[in-house]
Structure 1
Amino acid sequence: MADPTTIQAVTATQTGGAWRFDVTVKHPDTGWDHYTDAWRVLDMNGAELGMRELHHPHVDEQPFTRSLSGVAIPEGTKQVQIQARCSVDGWSGNTKTVRLP
């Protein structure tokens, strides 16, 4: 297994009834054959709440930040998890827990 995608930072912002997540990830992308191709927001039970597809490698832009808006978070949720996916290795076994403000 190659180096996994590392989630370096997450900012969660609520606007009205939805949430925006700004996620900074780092991965040794080598090109179209091996790169971080998505990240997702999960509840603490592992249910997917939203996913951001990444449509190209970021070989010369590491780490990089991408956003996802309009994520519906169930009322009363105090924290979520962020998980990244690599085009070669699939979903990382590691997640980053984020406390919601």
Structure 2
Amino acid sequence: MKIFGVSYLLFFMTTFVFASDTVHNSLDYAQVQYVKATQSANGTWCFNTQVRHNDEGWEHYADAWQVVDSKGDVLAERILFHPHDNEQPFTRSVCGVNIPSDNNLVTVRAKCNLHGFGGQTVTIDLARSEGKNYSVVR
């Protein structure tokens, strides 16, 4: 009986861990569609990010996107102060982002005020000029 209980607990915990990494393609979740990363003369970065979401007024809208490093630390956040019901997809920027020189990979993720994160992200290799759903200008 104890083995069954432990097995069930391990199965449940494993299922939860993998479920939390699930990418939802539904527009109920904010989807990052494209990112242009531009390095400024002073070494900081600008991220022009295109987001798509099924905004439905103040009750349900994409309310932020973030640039995170490979450890999940937030390097920058762009708060979206209002719904974009009639502007989909939309592009917004955040500039002055400091990225350590030994870190070439960052991920841009978006969230909505109802579901949080969970939609499509874009991972950017800053050492390359382009990749899937992104471009880099130095």
- Which one has a larger percent strand, Structure 1 or Structure 2? 1
Q: TM-score, normalising length from structure 1? A: 0.93
Q: CA RMSD, aligned part only? A: 1.5
Structure 1 residue aligned with 2:15: none
1:28 is paired with a residue whose SS is coil
Q: Within the alignment, does 1:31 sit opposite 2:57 as a pair? A: yes
Q: 2:89 aligns with which of 63, 68, 75?
A: 63
Does the CA-based 8 Å contact 2:61-2:83 persist in structure 1?
yes
**1:7 paired to 2:12:** no
Q: Which has the larger radius of gyration?
A: 2
1 or 2, which has the higher helix percentage? 2
Instruction: Give unpaired runs (5+ residues) of structure 2.
Output: 1-23, 128-138
Would the alpha carbon gap of residues 93 and 60 (structure 1) be closer, same or farther in structure 2, given more than 3 Å must change?
closer
Question: Is structure 2 residue 73 aligned with structure 1 residue 80?
Answer: no
Aligned residues between the structures:
101
Unmatched tracts of structure 1, length 5 or more: none
Partner of 2:122: 96
Divergent runs of 4+, >6 A: none
1:93 is displaced (CA, Å) by 5.8
TM-score normalised according to structure 2 size: 0.69
SS, match of residue 51 in structure 1 = strand
Preserved contact between residue 86 and residue 92 of structure 1 (Cα < 8 Å): no
Secondary structure of the corresponding residue to residue 50 of structure 2? strand
SS in 1 for 2:82: coil
> C-alpha separation between the residues in 2 aligned to 1:4 and 1:78?
27
Q: Percent identity?
A: 47
